[in-house]
Amino acid sequence: MEKQYDILSRISGRYDKMSKSHKAIASYILEHYDQAVFMTAARLGETLGISESTVVRFASGIGYGGYPEFQKALEDCVKGKLSSIQKMDAKYGRSTQSEVLASVITADIEKLQHTIDNLDPAAFESAVETILEAETIYVMGLRSNEPLAEFLHFYLNMIRGGVVLLKTTSVSETFEQMIRIHEKDCFIGISFPRYSMRTLKAMEFANDRNAKVIAITDSTHSPMSLYSSCNLLARSDMVSIVDSLVAPLSVINALVVALCLKCPQDVRRNLEMLEETWNNYQVYLNDEINFIDDEPILNYSLRREQDEGKK
């Protein structure tokens, strides 16, 4: 029996060399494998508007003896996902709530340690330099990875200009938003199992335009590494039915901190302008405490006037 995501990785890894019709099948399965598992070759072909024989050839083309063997691999994939619920019940069924809390946090700590031990320092340094030098940065992460992409976009936008968050519901919309990407730009793709075909296609497009491509993903076997020149790997195993995003978020935090240390004056100037704008337009009505140089600033505009009056 294959591991849970082996068939999906196999499809993603061979996607680039597939014919147009086979790419259509691959895209559908990667996005809807939990539905495709119940379809015969004829039904899958009918759904996609292609012939049954094309579906059968697709299964053979990615290394299976025929469609039945291919469908069995899909069944194993779905069973693997469902069995995580059973494993969760077996592991935590008789635990107290505090024991569940301790167990989950301990597992996250282990993922953080694994990430520390396996993240390539050279790749991290390369990612920092690439982001600093890029004219425009495109950030993309979908489904459960969307909060990671939004977090990275939020802080990159505070550090520098020219940051675009790609939020789409279709591949065509993605291409429309990044149609001007070129060799001086940078694309950051964030994807963990289940891998996103939309993110993979966007990375392929960026690579074809000679943009620098950075992948934040879980392993060197991830399909996201097909088009990236720099891979930042973070452990993200399933604890139960939910992906742990602790390690990926820590890697993103480290990126933000490293970027701030590379251009402290720019960051300080941007934060000061932002703080003054918030106060002038009463965006937060002084309800937030912000820190510059480790000093809490309750009202930056007022304090600056006071400082200037002492000169």
Per-residue pLDDT of the chain (311 residues; tens, 9 = 90+): 344 446 777 887 788 888 999 988 988 887 777 778 878 899 899 989 999 999 999 999 988 988 999 988 888 877 665 555 555 554 555 566 676 677 778 878 888 888 898 889 999 999 999 999 999 999 999 888 899 999 999 989 888 889 999 987 667 788 888 889 999 999 999 988 778 888 888 999 999 999 999 999 988 778 888 888 899 999 876 545 566 788 999 999 999 989 888 877 777 777 777 667 666 665 555 555 555 555 544 454 445 555 666 55
Angle at 207 between CA 24 and CA 176, to 5 degrees: 65
Domain boundary among 262, 281, 298: 262
Please tell me the predicted confidence (pLDDT) of residue 168.
75
| 204 plus 169 within the same structural domain | yes
How far apart, in whole angstroms, are the C-alpha atoms of residue 172 and residue 39? Answer: 27
Measured distance CA(294)–CA(242) in Å, rounded: 36
Q: Are residues 257 and 268 in the same domain?
A: no
- β-partners of residue 99 are none
Q: Give domain status of residue 113, yes or no.
A: no
Nearest to 6 by CA among 71, 77, 57, 85: 77
Judgement on whether residues 138 and 251 belong to the same structural domain of the protein: yes
pTM of the model as a whole: 0.62
pLDDT the model gives residue 281 = 61
Question: Same domain for 256 and 152?
Answer: yes
Q: Is residue 99 part of a domain?
A: no
DSSP annotation of 310? T
The encoded tokens of residue 122 equal 């050279």
Q: Are residues 66 and 134 in the same domain?
A: no
Residue 107 lies in a domain: no
Q: Are residues 77 and 187 in the same domain?
A: no
Q: Does residue 98 form part of some domain?
A: no
Q: What is the pLDDT of residue 2?
A: 40
pLDDT attached to residue 293: 54
pLDDT number for residue 134:
93
Count of domains forming the chain? 3
Same domain, yes or no: 258 and 272: no
Q: Are residues 152 and 223 in the same domain?
A: yes
Can you give the CATH number for the domain in which 165 is found? 3.40.50.10490
* 228 shares its domain with 191: yes
- On whether the CB atoms of residues 118 and 236 are closer than 8 A, the answer is no
- Look at residue 297 in the predicted model and tell me its pLDDT: 46
User: Do residues 242 and 273 share a domain?
Assistant: no
| Residue 56 included in any domain | yes
Instruction: Show the domain range for 252.
Output: 120-262
pLDDT given at position 242:
60
In whole angstroms, give the CA distance from residue 213 to residue 211.
6
Q: What is the pLDDT of residue 3?
A: 43
Distance CA 36, CA 43 (A): 9
- Judgement on whether residues 145 and 272 belong to the same structural domain of the protein: no
Residue 105 lies in a domain: no
Q: Which two tokens stand for residue 56?
A: 């059968």
Residue 282, domain member (yes or no): yes
Q: In CATH, what number is assigned to the domain containing residue 33? A: 1.10.10.10
> Does residue 38 fall inside a structural domain?
yes
- Please tell me whether residues 82 and 129 are part of one structural domain: no
